[in-house]
Structure 1
């Protein structure tokens, strides 16, 4: 297998360069979808695309079990050197490249007699809605094991190390509106000042208390009120709230607290406060069987000395919606140590590209071992 991957490495570098140079936003990954399809349709496989969405699903092999590998395909929208544009600063270009490498490695090395290997190129991860959209399409209904991956920043994992799971936290992003009436600056008794309501909202959010044994945070991340006229007391405002927690139970508790706080403030100030969840991601639910198989794949490929413990991070990933919505699905994500600096989502993020072939080797072995192990048990 190592010889196959070494042979593929120059091609995979070209693939990464193309994907990196052509980033596309969530659910707008049209060129990305077409590019991946054009690469893989040359091989004996079944490709499924969607009329109402970007992304694609590719199967090789046949029969059961079904073992899947997911790669996210969207980029971020951010300011880079003074210009706002799509940018692959989260490593999704690497994830796609690794999945394509695994696909080619399995075909080149020969597939087991029994088993289907599914490659899920998922749109919309950055909006937290891509996994849910594919669950609704039934893409994982027949999947037994699902694997994912993510590059990790250097402070979490040193270069060359790999961890068998990423214990992501849950996140919820809420947009809100304070709806009232404006008033003359000389008559503050005639309205509720939306800025004052916002200050009280900030204070009450800061006062939320939940079990400190579970990592969590709740904070205002945007607040906009008033205009160019300094003599108008604004009655309207918009705001954003970012909620984080290491468990799905605590994120639910935080969400309920936000609803209670805004209802109380709306009643007291006699204004309307509307809330809308713009997106959310679930906390990881790890499967011991999948984690064990990933551990073995890491040891076989890079040695036990490069096996790191499970990574716990406050960041989120919509990968975990697959197991939330399909509880019988066994899943885990490979954490890839790759000297990633200065950090994820930094506009000038860089990483060591030597990690790509190693990740391909690990995941190819894990997929094959998973399928063979399930066949033997049956």
Structure 2
């Protein structure tokens, strides 16, 4: 009997933020060690985990990856961690897959690695794992994500999820304070920030590209209503379906901010707070996933590849290590009312489907001795 639900119920009760997944990591690492995996804890000084099963025979190195962190929310005035992106489900599926694979003796050639990654929501967890050598010897890497109801209901699965690139840019804009009765003696940081927002809004890439840029935070307060504010902070969210347009978009946003605030005598300290690359998906891995999904759900359960404006730090792995062949699939789970919603929920029957699809992939890649 699978232990997927047992894992899920425990992990769901102990949500932890990125790089703080101490209880989560300990539970997962202990379970993997008890199953018979060689386990490396605290990868690169983080809560990350690498577990390995070596068949002792030549063959490829396949890795399965799950993210562990929860999201931070403010609920009823309190800051809380809550699993509203399904990472507890992802960890439960991959953990149960690891247990069943070793119990059933599925790995007959090469090596299987199981990666549990911190801080996906921060956009830096995958990078920490890469820096810790987690995929230096990996040939193929698979990941997945539960999907919203309107995109992929229970009983369906997408063999490829083409996520978009995203970036968050922050500008701290500095002016000169003055009395509101004498504005000519100051430089209004609020005016400069508004100019920056308007300048960024005029940016246009080629119309055949899918992209967006918009201001998402604007903070400016002199503390009183009769003073010229000298400091403002603005953040922008950038999205692009592909990596190359994102590079252009970032450069143009930074240029627009710098030039617009300089035009009225203000300065700007600009930082890229977070970046996640667009999907890099290997056709061979998509073919393996397609075959595994059909095996588990039948031909009627396989959907077309899907494109989403959301982002996933999984794709730091292939961008940092281009030789690794990556696949990333979407699991239908009747998820409502939406990812990152404080009350997000999904059908737990999806979890065992996830285990069966991953086991089929391991069988297809490492099951031939």
Residue 300 of structure 2 aligns with which residue?
A: 305
Query: How far off is 1:81 after superposition?
Result: 4.3
- Say whether residues 1:27 and 2:19 are aligned partners: yes
Q: What RMSD in Å do the two structures reach over aligned CA positions?
A: 1.3
1:16 touches 1:94 (CA, 8 Å); kept in 2?
yes
2:193 touches 2:261 (CA, 8 Å); kept in 1?
no
Residue 5 of structure 2 aligns with which residue?
A: 13
Residue 276 of structure 2 aligns with which residue?
A: 281
Q: Deviations over 1:344-372 (max 9, x none)?
A: 00000010000000110011111221224
Query: How far off is 1:43 after superposition?
Result: 2.0
State the distance in 2 between where 1:172 and 1:112 align.
39
Matches within 5 A, 1:170-249: 170-249=165-244
State the distance in 2 between where 1:154 and 1:205 align.
34
Q: Name the SS for the 2:18 alignment partner.
A: coil
Residue 359 of structure 2 aligns with which residue?
A: 364
- Say whether residues 1:36 and 2:28 are aligned partners: yes
Q: Deviations over 1:181-228 (max 9, x none)?
A: 211000111122111111111111111100122211101111111233
Partner residue of 2:49 out of 46, 52, 56: 56
Query: How far off is 1:62 after superposition?
Result: 3.3
Partner residue of 1:296 out of 291, 313, 318: 291
Q: Name the SS for the 2:12 alignment partner.
A: helix
Q: Name the SS for the 2:52 alignment partner.
A: strand
Q: Name the SS for the 2:95 alignment partner.
A: helix
2:176 touches 2:230 (CA, 8 Å); kept in 1?
yes
* Greater Cα offset, 157-166 or 74-83: 74-83
Residue 164 of structure 1 aligns with which residue?
A: 159
Q: Name the SS for the 1:210 alignment partner.
A: coil
State the distance in 1 between where 2:107 and 2:248 align.
46
State the distance in 2 between where 1:134 and 1:182 align.
45
State the distance in 2 between where 1:62 and 1:256 align.
48
Taking structure 1 as the reference length, what is the TM-score of the superposition?
A: 0.94
Q: Name the SS for the 2:121 alignment partner.
A: helix
Q: Name the SS for the 2:223 alignment partner.
A: coil
Q: Name the SS for the 2:168 alignment partner.
A: strand
Partner residue of 2:324 out of 301, 318, 329: 329
Query: How far off is 1:163 after superposition?
Result: 0.7
Residue 350 of structure 2 aligns with which residue?
A: 355
Query: How far off is 1:82 after superposition?
Result: 4.1
The 4+ residue runs of structure 1 with deviation greater than 4 A are: none
2:157 touches 2:303 (CA, 8 Å); kept in 1?
yes
Query: How far off is 1:285 after superposition?
Result: 1.1
Q: Deviations over 1:89-117 (max 9, x none)?
A: 00000000000111011012113331211
State the distance in 2 between where 1:139 and 1:212 align.
39
Residue 71 of structure 1 aligns with which residue?
A: 66
Taking structure 2 as the reference length, what is the TM-score of the superposition?
A: 0.96
Matches within 5 A, 1:93-132: 93-132=88-127
State the distance in 1 between where 2:155 and 2:76 align.
30
Query: How far off is 1:298 after superposition?
Result: 0.3
Q: Name the SS for the 2:35 alignment partner.
A: coil
Segments of structure 1 that go 5 or more residues without pairing to the other structure are: 1-6
Q: Name the SS for the 1:178 alignment partner.
A: strand
1:79 touches 1:347 (CA, 8 Å); kept in 2?
no
Query: How far off is 1:133 after superposition?
Result: 1.0
